Structures are given as C-alpha cells and as structure tokens.
C-alpha cells in the first residue's frame, strides 16, 4: 500500500512539473511575427556553361539565388523548361534594311528553325517603318516557318528603327505562361535617331565686327546617333515588362550608316544592351559580317535547351513597376542569364 501511495505521489509530481513547463493558453495562441508583404514573380532564366568542354550541372531550387537590393528573396520553384514544360514561342525578326548578302546565311537560319522540337511555335516577321510585318504567325508547322524566310528588301523606308519594331511586336504579343523568345537579325542601327535640326544663328558680331562663334551661337544642332538610341532603352524595358527574352545576330545593313564604323558600333551597343538586360545574348564578330550563322545558332540552341522557370517572392511597392533583381548561382561552370528587372505587382 505504501508503494502504491509512493507511485501516486511521483506521478502527481511529474504531472505538476509538466503543467508548469507547458506554455499558457495565451502563449499558445499568440501569433508569430507577421511576414512582410510579398508578391509572387515568375521569370525565365537561362543556364549557360562558362566552359563548353565541361559538364553543365542541372539547377535545383537551392542553387538559384535572387537578390533584391541587399536582401535575398525566397525562391519557391525552379522548374526545368523540358518535357511537359518545354512550350516555347520563338519569333524570328529580320531587318528589311539588311543587304541581300545576308542571303548566304539564311540557309543556316532555316536549318535552325527546322530543327526545333514539335513543342516550339515559330513566327517570322520583317522589320520596317517602325513596325513588324508578320509573314508567318506562330505555328507548329516548321516547314511553313522555313518557307516564310525570304531575302530582306535591302532598302530604306521612312521610319527604320529595329527597337521601335521590337516594341510594337512585344506590346501586341498575347501573354501566356510559356517561354517567349525573340531572335533579331539586324545591324541595330536606329536610323530615326537624332533631333530635327534648327536653323543656325547668323554669324555673330561684336560692334559690327565678326567674332569667333561659340557653341551657344548655334542652338540645337542635329547629330546622328551620338549615343545609343533611347529607343533601345524603351525596347529593353518593354521586353522585361512582358517577360520576353531578346537575342540578336549582327548582319550588315544598307546605306551610309551601314558602312559607318561609328554607326555600326553604336548599333551593336544597342543590341547588346537589349540582349543583356532581357536575359538574352547578342551574337557578333565585332563590326565584321559573319561568315556563317551556324556556330551562333548552335549556341542559341544550347541556351534554349537549358532554360528554367523561376518563381520567387519579391517585396512590392505601393505601385506596380519594374524592380531591379540579381539572379545568380554558385555552381561551378554555371552562369545564369536573366532579366535585370522584373515586373512586381503592387503591395496589398
């Protein structure tokens, strides 16, 4: 009997200690500190190899880092764009101001289009007059897309700007949850660049005696392509807004601008800017005409084969807008190409 009472006392003591260690009801129901307001963002990234002779490891969710300002954002999904997720809309844009010499490279382009997987929808358009003439809408019949590729007209129109043509295309492109990629074949020269010239002032005089003119005497003087076209910035921003990756291949254009090393370099700089900022690549051999498109199209094909959908939680502002993010990985031999900015919905 004494043993029985001793056991009851021990059990009672343990029960009392358990109650003492148990948090109060108020403590149990106290909510955790609220998480900051976030907005879900979707984008497509490309994983490229630093060295093509080494293996490119597949990306996992924990391998992808997204940074906004000084803070790392939560990555919720990293999905390979393969198998049932390999849907692709690829628009081929050819500049009608190119010389007809590019015809030697169109066979490479046709072979590239024909080799795309059945899940890829291909469209073909020609850029002129600051717009795009779509000669083949997106189609899974790659033979139709191949037949739509023709020689450029090799002439000038009243408004030639590949960047305005790109803006026109992107703004009219219906949004879908698929990869959306552009390949531009152009020299990148915005032939609309510059401001209308104004009449210069009369030869300046001082008390009736002609004097040496200064810059202020000439007002706003016209200069062609003094810097990268502002339309390149606009094209980049619009493409990032609608999740369109822009790639380009340099080809020689007609006219004096197409022969000017200065204009060509500025055009290449514009193409590189748009490609870099949208997560694409500009393929060129400096200002020299490419002998063949094939090695560059092969690299583009490797890029398309190593793309991923990424979903992460961004910190929104009061109004929707583009926000700077940095997407990276620490995997060896891996470099991520991604847009510089993403569209973030407004905070609640």
Q: Where are the domains of the chain?
A: 36-82+307-348, 86-189+224-304
CA distances 286 to 8, 39, 225, Å, are: 90, 41, 18
Q: Which of 42-46, 90-94, 197-201 has the lowest mean pLDDT?
A: 197-201
Task: Output the pLDDT for position 215.
Answer: 53
Please calculate the CA angle 36-61-180 and round it to the nearest 5 degrees. Answer: 90
Residue 33 is given by DSSP the state P
User: For 36-82+307-348, CATH number?
Assistant: 2.40.30
Name the residue among 106, 266, 109, 232 with its Cα closest to residue 162: 232
- How many other CB atoms sit within 10 Å of the CB of residue 109? 21
Residue 324 is given by DSSP the state E
For domain 86-189+224-304, the CATH superfamily is: von Willebrand factor, type A domain (3.40.50.410)
Q: What is the pLDDT of residues 128-166, one digit of tens each?
A: 999 999 999 999 999 999 999 999 999 999 899 999 999
Q: What is the pLDDT of residues 247-289, one digit of tens each?
A: 999 999 999 989 999 899 999 999 999 999 999 999 999 888 8
Task: Output the pLDDT for position 338.
Answer: 98
Please calculate the CA angle 198-203-206 and round it to the nearest 5 degrees. Answer: 130
Q: Which helix (H) or strand (E) holds 264?
A: helix 261-278
Q: 211 vs 80, which has greater pLDDT?
A: 80
Instruction: Give the tokens for residue 60.
Output: 């996992």
User: What is the mean pLDDT of the segment spanning 111-117?
Assistant: 97
Judge contact between 143 and 129, C-beta under 8 A.
no
In what order do the strands lie in the sheet containing 326-328? Answer: 71-72, 65-68, 326-328
Task: Output the pLDDT for position 177.
Answer: 86
Q: How confident is the model at residue 222 (pLDDT cuts 50, 70, 90)?
A: low
């Amino acid at each position: 009997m004494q043993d029985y009472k001793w056991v009851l006392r021990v059990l009672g003591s343990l029960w009392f200690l358990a109650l003492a260690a148990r948090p109060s009801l108020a403590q149990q129901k106290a909510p955790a500190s609220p998480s900051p307001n976030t907005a879900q963002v979707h984008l497509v990234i490309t994983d490229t190899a630093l060295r093509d002779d080494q293996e490119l490891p597949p990306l996992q969710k924990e391998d992808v880092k997204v940074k906004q300002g000084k803070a790392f954002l939560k990555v919720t999904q990293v999905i390979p764009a393969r198998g049932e997720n390999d849907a692709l809309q690829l628009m081929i844009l050819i500049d009608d101001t190119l010389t007809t010499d590019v015809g030697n490279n169109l066979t490479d382009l046709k072979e590239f289009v024909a080799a795309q997987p059945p899940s890829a929808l291909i469209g073909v358009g020609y850029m002129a007059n600051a717009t795009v003439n779509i000669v083949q809408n997106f189609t899974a019949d790659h033979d139709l897309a191949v037949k739509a590729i023709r020689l450029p007209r090799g002439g000038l129109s009243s408004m030639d700007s590949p960047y305005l043509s790109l803006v026109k295309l992107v703004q009219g492109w219906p949004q879908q949850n698929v990869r959306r990629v552009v390949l531009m074949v152009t020299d990148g020269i915005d032939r609309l660049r510059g401001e209308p010239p104004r009449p210069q002032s009369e030869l300046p005089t001082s008390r009736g005696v002609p004097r040496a003119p200064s810059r202020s005497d000439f007002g706003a003087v016209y200069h062609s392509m003094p810097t990268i076209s502002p339309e390149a910035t606009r094209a980049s921003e619009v493409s990032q807004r609608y999740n369109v990756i822009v790639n380009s291949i340099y080809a020689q254009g007609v006219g004096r601008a197409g022969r000017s090393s200065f204009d060509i370099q500025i055009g290449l700089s514009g193409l590189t800017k748009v490609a870099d900022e949208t997560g694409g690549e500009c393929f060129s051999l400096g200002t020299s005409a490419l002998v063949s498109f094939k090695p560059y199209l092969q690299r583009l094909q490797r890029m398309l084969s190593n793309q991923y959908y990424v979903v992460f939680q961004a910190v929104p502002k009061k109004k929707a807008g583009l926000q700077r993010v940095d997407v990276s990985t620490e995997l060896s031999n891996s470099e991520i190409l991604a847009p510089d900015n993403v569209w973030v919905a407004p905070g609640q």
